[in-house]
Structure 1
């Protein structure tokens, strides 16, 4: 049985709930969900330019946990961009 997931501090949420290729109906697209903590990690490190250690402190996780979240988020974004999949944003961890 895995350890319970520690809540992450998330301050920013996406402006839109979905990004998809133009001209392709959503019903025809594979959907990939980007969790709110993955979005926050991308926002802090890639958009705000924070070091991973600073972003980890802000999210209240270890640096290694942040690195794992960031790796997962980047893979999902690149997968959607290269394979023409829809990227669905999770609004929160409810």
Structure 2
């Protein structure tokens, strides 16, 4: 039996639910799903410039978990950019606590 997923604190939200290459209909594109915790890890570390330890505290997970989530998220983004795939933002995820106001948004 798998270990239960530690709840993650999510503060950021994507501006859109999907990013895709121009000029190609969705029906012709492979889709890659970016989970909410992956989006949040990218937002905290790559956009806001937080250290991984600080971002992990913000999300309520260990630094190693944050590093694993961040690595998966970066792979998905690069895969979409280099292979011309659609990046879908998965807006509902188990084990996620959503907040309207967070420390990183101040």
Q: What is the TM-score with the length of structure 1 in the denominator?
A: 0.98
The structural deviation recorded for 1:25 is 0.4
- 62-71 or 4-13, which deviates more: 4-13
The Cα of 1:4 is off from its aligned counterpart by: 1.0
1 or 2, which has the higher strand percentage?
A: 2
Query: Hey, which bits of structure 1, 4+ residues long, moved more than 2 A?
Result: none
- In structure 1, stretches of 5+ residues that fail to align are none
Does residue 17 in structure 1 map to residue 26 in structure 2? no
Q: CA RMSD in A?
A: 0.7
Q: CA deviation at 1:93?
A: 1.2
Q: Which residue of 2 aligns with 1:30?
A: 30
What is the CA distance between 1:63 and its match in structure 2?
0.1
2-structure distance, mates of 1:35, 1:45? 16
> Structure 2: which 5+ runs fail to align?
95-106
The alpha-carbon deviation at position 21 of structure 1 amounts to: 0.2
How far the C-alpha of 1:92 sits from its partner, in A, is 2.7
Q: How does 1:51-70 map to 2 (within 5 A)?
A: 51-70=51-70
| TM-score under structure 2 length normalisation | 0.87
> Is 2:22 the partner of 1:43?
no
